[in-house]
Amino acid sequence: MSAAPNPSNLSKNSASQSKRLILASTSKYRKELLGRLGLSFETISPEVDEAPLPNETPELMAIRLAQAKALAVSLSNPSAYVIGSDQVVDLNGVSMGKPGDHANAMAQLQKLRGQTVKFHTAVCVAHAGSAKTVNAITEVKFRELDDAVLEAYLLAETPYDCAGSAKSEGLGICLLEHVRSDDPTALIGLPLITVCTLLRDAGFSIPLNQ
């Protein structure tokens, strides 16, 4: 069951925005990114099982979970516009999500070093039973770094809630050789160019009329 909206999670400019907007996430990264648009929104945990399905590709997993999160919250808030998002790392067709702890993070980075991988960051906007989903793809090349460097990074950044353990907005940028994407905030967790397009299509004014 989705948590009740928390009034303290409302952003500014609510008086100028008629449509109710909900971010189906408790991620501090996605909340900060969406807040850049100056829209009023609430955050609600979607309470969705994020386990992969058998034989599911990384791309389809990201899309499915973004939709599931948005629709789960939309079901109990049908008049609102709900944003759901999910990110999955694609290492040669194998899915990689959040590590959760230090040991898993080290194992992820050991697999990723020297590799070129794709980050699938899917976004879904749901409203009144309908949903539109877009997947933003970021290509990332990881540097060939030894375990001592990876260990120093993990101890300094503790990126255990980041897909692939690569916190690119922090010290994780030191692990990367290049990043290629049409949506620069996708790697952080929410592709704002895509979000702006979806919200404008839904009738939101961005920038918001003051």
Q: 163 exposed, middle or buried (CB, 10 Å; 0-12, 13-18, 19+)?
A: buried
Among 86, 101, 147, 201, the active-site one is 86
Please state the φ and ψ torsions of residue 63, each to the nearest 5 degrees. Answer: -65, -45
Counting every residue written for the chain, the total comes to 210
Contacts of 113 (CB under 8 A, 6+ apart): 142, 143, 144, 145, 150, 175
Q: Pick from 60, 22, 66: which is nearest to 41 by CA?
A: 22
CA distance 193 to 129: 24
49 is catalytic: no
By annotation, the residues acting in catalysis are 86
